[in-house]
Chain A
Amino acid sequence: MPEITYRDAVIRGIAQEMARDNDVVFLGEDVAKAGGVFKATVGLYEQFGPLRVRDTPISEQAILGAAMGAAMTGLKPIAEIMFSDFFAVCFDYIANEFPKSRYMSNGQTKCPLVVRTGNGAGSRFGAQHSQSVENWCMMIPGLKVVAPSSPVDVIGLLAAAVRDPDPVIFLEHKSLYATKGEVPDGEIVDRLGTAKIVRPGRDATILALALMVPRAVEAAERLKAEHGIDCEVIDVRSLVPLDTQTILASVAKTHRLFTVEENPRLCGWGAEIVSIVADEAFYDLDGPPVRITTPHIPLPAADILEDMVLPTAERIVETVRRSLQS
């Protein structure tokens, strides 16, 4: 099977949907002629033309507001917010407008749009260009929130997001853009709300998202090889809708739960999942669930400092080992 990068998967996913449906339009800063600051939209302007792929000013409120107005009246816009940290300057749309208009209007207003954004750390950009903001979005009723970890999932989940009738926040991890993965030829469409078991195991369940997925997988391989601990790694993929059934079934099998979260500690997605497991599967657990997160600090810029705070394979290995062997 051919391999492509996560970055090229973004291009292919958008192109697949734009070729399929003329109502799919794409807007954002530097996305058209320049092909995106992360080069994740190269060639779309040439392929689909200036009416469908549009550069905008640095006006995040205008970008998201325009996407919403277009979505309400019949288009299926994909809007790019360059860095997810910038959600803070257009959060009105994410928190107040997209997710509440259908409810407030008693079902009259539709909002089928996708907001793509570069999320996460690893690029040494410091505290305002590196955050993992999935929990900002997850807490809002009415939104759907997706964060793929592999090229094939980028295409399939992006297609599912574009075809979904609800507003979807699509978090691309900046540190995954250059990574590669196998992708079959032809159309790829996945389903939102489905977690993926990326490594089966018997002794413990490790939940991870986006950049934390390859780190969890690496940790699981080392735990098996070095300590004989066989971990099941689940890529959560979709925070809303959340595939609790896959998670609960895994905990029922392994009896231990670990979450690996890039977000700062408080109110991370893992806290919600741990509370669900505590509510519904407490007696399946042989030990306390453990959350492995970035500490509750703004992210530092220096590489040596940034590397100290994000969960690493080493930290996952040590945490799981100590927890299971205590």
Chain B
Amino acid sequence: MATAQDRAQAPGSGLNDDIGEAKRLAMYRSQLRIREAEQRAYDLFLQNLVKGTSHLSLGQEAVASGFAEAMQKGDLSFCTYRGHAHTLARCVSVEKVLGELMQRDNGLMRGKGGSMHLTSEEHGVMGSYAIIGAHLPIACGAAWRAQYKGDKDVSVCFFGDGTTNIGAFHEALNFAAIWKLPVVFVCENNLYMEYTPIGDVTAVPHPAADRAGSYGLERIIIDGNDADVVYRTAQRAFSRARAGEGPSLIEALTYRHSGHSRADPAKYRPEGELEKWKQRDPIKIYRERLQQFGVSDKVIAEIDASVRQEVDDATETCKAAPMPPADILTTDVYADGGWAWRN
């Protein structure tokens, strides 16, 4: 959990201002952008404008924003099917993300990937992977390239608690440890493997952290709803990776406010659990944090308004955007741009 240092203490009145106002405002804006865009995605789904499946990160914004704000340009994000938050956190536009969810031609991948596969390499978002665990070894490979070429970027791989019980998780952890790769594994423990409490299906109480020792790694558990805690943890892990000291495995405790996917009303949750976690809503925590640091209500209100404007504008742009044309069906199967498998 958060260390004493992470609990905000006022300077003069003991506040720890190691992060600085500019970064704090960016972190607030980032979390709010995710919140508003995810909520909008849900609303658009109810209007049948977002189709297919979607897995929202409502309630988990602090993990995405804390890590993304600690990343440098060139650092790489590897996400899961619950990847909207991490994509937005790397500054991909709301329009591109909503466009993809709304299956429009202005979407990030013009409708060819969909909600579960958001990718924006120019922003360092190296894909969202919908097969549990698949991207942990892939992140190892990107980190291997950095190590081999002497590049200083770090590969950051986000996944849920359910991923810790699949083989690829364990293969990747061992692999990253023995090769001392500059990769950071981030388990977002939201307490549920899809519809099942993670504790019901896991041999240890902390699905990621309790496995760290098996791979010679430090046991790290943090408050994933406090973006400052996440940010500081990320910085430490990135420094370690850039210094050639190898991988880190971080378990961030958080909670998703919605169901697993759009089809899930999350009726399996015990009475009062959601309400308890909403008291620890990352946006609420962070708004109070800004106020503690003396950020005026006016500045906060301006950020709120500009984020809502961005999401509203993106929504209208996407609603007006055309559907993808048939001629992209057969493009980019192979590197020559086409799909020819014979002469």
What is the interface of chain A, defined by CB distance below 8 A to chain B? Answer: 25, 51-52, 54, 56-57, 59, 61-75, 77, 92-93, 96-97, 101-110, 112, 141-142, 144, 164-166, 193, 240-245, 276
Q: List 29 A-B contacts (CB under 8 A).
A: A59-B171, A59-B175, A61-B168, A61-B171, A62-B171, A64-B137, A65-B136, A65-B141, A65-B168, A65-B171, A68-B138, A70-B148, A74-B145, A75-B145, A77-B141, A97-B129, A97-B138, A101-B127, A104-B112, A104-B113, A105-B112, A105-B121, A107-B332, A141-B333, A165-B335, A193-B343, A242-B341, A243-B342, A276-B342
Q: Would you call B335 and A69 a contact (CB within 8 A)?
A: no
Q: Would you call B142 and A62 a contact (CB within 8 A)?
A: no
Smallest CB separation, A33 vs chain B (Å): 14
Verify if B9 is at the interface (C-beta below 8 Å from A): no
Report the count of interface residues on B (CB-CB < 8 A).
Answer: 53
Q: Which residues of A contact B146 (CB under 8 A)?
A: 73
| A76→B22 CA distance, assembly (Å) | 40
Q: Would you call A70 and B142 a contact (CB within 8 A)?
A: yes
| A144→B175 CA distance, assembly (Å) | 27
Closest residue to A165 on the B side, CB-wise? B335
Q: Contacts A69-B141, A106-B328; is A57 near B175 (CB within 8 Å)?
A: yes
Q: Would you call A103 and B144 a contact (CB within 8 A)?
A: no
| A164→B343 CA distance, assembly (Å) | 17
Q: Which residues of A contact B119 (CB under 8 A)?
A: 101, 104-105, 108-109
Q: Which of B87-116 contact A (CB under 8 A)?
A: 108-110, 112-114
Total contacts A-B at CB 8 Å: 165
Q: Would you call A66 and B343 a contact (CB within 8 A)?
A: no
Interface string of B131-175 (1 = CB under 8 A from A): 101111111111111101100000100000000000110011011
Q: Contacts A62-B174, A97-B134, A165-B335; is A243 near B109 (CB within 8 Å)?
A: no
Chain A binding surface SS class: mixed
Closest residue to A25 on the B side, CB-wise? B148
Smallest CB separation, B336 vs chain A (Å): 8
Closest residue to A64 on the B side, CB-wise? B137
New contact pairs (12) apart from A61-B133, A65-B137, A106-B110, CB-CB < 8 Å: A62-B168, A63-B137, A65-B168, A73-B126, A74-B145, A92-B134, A97-B129, A103-B112, A103-B333, A104-B119, A109-B127, A142-B333
Q: Would you call A104 and B109 a contact (CB within 8 A)?
A: yes
Q: Which residues of A contact B174 (CB under 8 A)?
A: 57, 59, 62
Smallest CB separation, A278 vs chain B (Å): 15
Smallest CB separation, B180 vs chain A (Å): 12
| A57→B179 CA distance, assembly (Å) | 11
